[in-house]
Amino acid sequence: MGEVDHLVISAIEESVNSVDDFDIADVERTVIIKLVAYAETVRAPRERMTPDQSRC
């Protein structure tokens, strides 16, 4: 991978839970994706980001 100008993190999975149908395994998976995968997605190309990188 070369220089990175823009990085877009879009939703990859939606977890819909109600109180009656609460699925703890589904919630755990969603939390792991949001806390670990998103942070790693930003961390990995960090040193290849250009000075003109998107900051939004």
Taking only the tens place, the pLDDT of each residue in 1-56 is 688 888 887 767 676 778 888 888 888 888 888 888 888 888 888 888 887 776 65
Domain that holds residue 35: 1-56
Look at residue 2 and give its three-state secondary structure.
Answer: coil
Number of structural domains (the chain) is 1
pTM of the predicted model over 0.85 = no
Residue type, 39: A
Beta bridge partners of 41: none
Question: Alpha-carbon distance 14 to 31, whole Å?
Answer: 11
- Side-chain half-sphere of 35: how many Cα atoms within 13 Å? 6
